[in-house]
Amino acid sequence: MDDAALSQASDLLYEAWMKGEVIEDLPYSIRPQSRAEGYAVQALLEKRFAAPLWGWKIAATSIAGQKHIGVDGPLAGRIFSERVLQPGATVPESANRMKVAEVEFAFRFARDLPPRDKAYSVEETLAAVGSLHVGIEIPDSRYTDFVTAGGPQLIADNACAHWFVCGHATTADWRSIDLAAHKVRGIVEGRYERDGVGSNCLGDPRVALAWIANELSGIGVTLAAGQTVTTGTCVVPLEIEPGDVVTGDLGEIGVVTVRFPH
């Protein structure tokens, strides 16, 4: 893809996102054919937001999630500061066809992890983290059928990023906790609850964290100090309806709540 094609693809997806509309697919002439081209389209979103990039999300961190959208591995997406909500906030009214909420571990970095030839280990990646938070992601897609869009198009669509709610930094000694075995609960107040575990996220959210450090390194992007990475849902996504109140409960690590408009 040349620069013109990248820009056209980014323009089309951004316009659909802001208008709450969907498209069938990107036209073939401007459709990314590889993960690298997908990330090149996605990167052009940054110039559209004034605030510094808030962080990153990982999509499709469970085998079930990968099968559902027809990809063979996780996908990275950008989280923009303008799309991050405070704990207890109400999600702004906007179109959302996925209508789900996901409970996740979110790691805030204290040191840069710049691109390099050698892969980052889990230990190196964790050593660069400053704090751990509870997160709720509210994803969405700009495609009519995101299940059949394929990995490169989904990456171009910012890996289905939409809104994100981030809790306060935990005061627990999280480094001594086995996050893979840690229980996670998603609660839709007055309707139902759903339990999960950290291992639902690539076997261990810490492994997922190292995955994105290396994914970004591979495309020449620094995972920067101050940025937060949310490592993917640990519970089967929670179906939401207007007026729902959703809580993500990570026990001693913390709790965060978000409200949905009627």
Q: Which two tokens stand for residue 259?
A: 């409200």
pLDDT tens profile 200-240: 999 999 999 999 999 999 999 999 999 999 999 999 999 99
Domain CATH number, residue 178: 3.90.850.10
- How high is the pLDDT of residue 148? 85
Q: How many residues in total does the chain contain? A: 262
Q: How many domains does the chain have?
A: 1
- In this prediction the pTM is 0.96
Q: Which domain holds residue 163?
A: 3-259
